[in-house]
Structure 1
Amino acid sequence: MLSPTKRPDLPATLTAAIVRGAKGRCPRCGEAKLFRAFLKPVAHCPACHHDWTHQRADDFPPYVSILLTGHLMAPLIIYLGMSSTMPMWQALAICLTLASVLMISFLQPAKGGTIALQWWHGMHGFNPSGKAEAGAADAPVPSPDNPWR
């Protein structure tokens, strides 16, 4: 848990924020879990206290999950369809089972990445945006001796 005086380790790029979200970690600090249940994000990060209630992932994570599953399954479906040694019911059972497992396994990382994307770009009430906040963290802090630095 972050102390009140310590700044969170903000991601330097959008990719870093999305990777944190896809791993199920807070995209802002990377220390705490982003989800309290399978697809339910926490209201506030317990480490950096960032408010995640503004997220509106809606239909984008299932879309990403379907897209990835379809692209991974297509070669297998073509191969099993061309194979004359396996009965069609077995090929169908294999494909449906594998597609279901892939869909479910991609959903949470896709939602975490979507939340990170929304935070980074300041969408849906995330203010300041992650991009602006990370840029401000990199800016030099003025010292009392030299206010221009």
Structure 2
Amino acid sequence: MTDFPETQEGRPAMREVALFGCCPRCGKRTLFAGMLKFADKCPGCGLDFSRFNVGDGAAAFVTMGIGGVVVALALWLQLTFEPPWWVHVLLWLPLIVFGVIAALRVTKAWLLGSEFVRRAEEHRHDGSDLS
């Protein structure tokens, strides 16, 4: 009943899914409809991306990880060179914004690809088995 292919043939590698936003079934770069929003389905093979629930857990880990790296680099810069405050704003604000967005795209694509490979998807409850 499932529409997943039974073989690995034709599937992109997980690194391609994560780095390039490729559909985990056909490999076309159709996973995202916006900067961080998944497309509803793949126009190439028809895979319904809304069946997968990536959630927001990746956002917390990515944000905290990049925040930790930026804080460490900012402390090193301040203690080594003692630049004026505006240098920190010019350096770290763009790095945080672009770093978090890029890392979230990669992480969300990897999670969706992992769910596809493991055949984990959102359970659609139609209410037919309710008493």
Q: Quick check: TM above 0.5?
A: yes
Rg larger in structure? 1
Query: More deviation in 63-72 or 108-117?
Result: 63-72
C-alpha distance in structure 2 between counterparts of 1:44 and 1:76, whole Å: 40
Question: Is residue 22 of structure 2 the alignment partner of residue 21 of structure 1?
Answer: no
Q: Which residue of 2 aligns with 1:97?
A: 94
C-alpha distance in structure 2 between counterparts of 1:21 and 1:82, whole Å: 36
Spell out structure 1 runs of 4+ moving beyond 4 A.
none
| 1:49 alignment partner, one of 46, 52, 72 | 46
Q: How does 1:1-149 map to 2 (within 5 A)?
A: 9-11=10-12, 16-70=13-67, 72-125=69-122
TM-score (norm 1): 0.62
Gap runs ≥5 in structure 2: 1-7, 124-131
C-alpha distance in structure 2 between counterparts of 1:28 and 1:17, whole Å: 11
CA separation of 1:46 and 1:84: change in aligned 2, threshold 3 A: closer
TM-score (norm 2): 0.69
1:68 shift after superposition: 4.3
C-alpha distance in structure 1 between counterparts of 2:16 and 2:25, whole Å: 11
Amino acid at match of 1:110: T
C-alpha distance in structure 2 between counterparts of 1:125 and 1:97, whole Å: 35
C-alpha distance in structure 1 between counterparts of 2:29 and 2:48, whole Å: 13
Amino acid at match of 1:107: L
Gap runs ≥5 in structure 1: 1-6, 127-149
Percent of aligned pairs sharing the same letter? 23
CA deviation string 1:2-34 (max 9, x = no partner)? xxxxx97124xxxx2253133111011112411
1:67 shift after superposition: 4.4
C-alpha distance in structure 1 between counterparts of 2:41 and 2:95, whole Å: 35
Q: Does the Cα contact within 8 Å between 1:80 and 1:86 map onto a contact in 2? A: yes
CA separation of 1:40 and 1:8: change in aligned 2, threshold 3 A: farther
Q: Does the Cα contact within 8 Å between 2:53 and 2:122 map onto a contact in 1? A: no
Amino acid at match of 1:22: L
C-alpha distance in structure 2 between counterparts of 1:40 and 1:113, whole Å: 14
What is the number of equivalent residue pairs in this alignment? 116
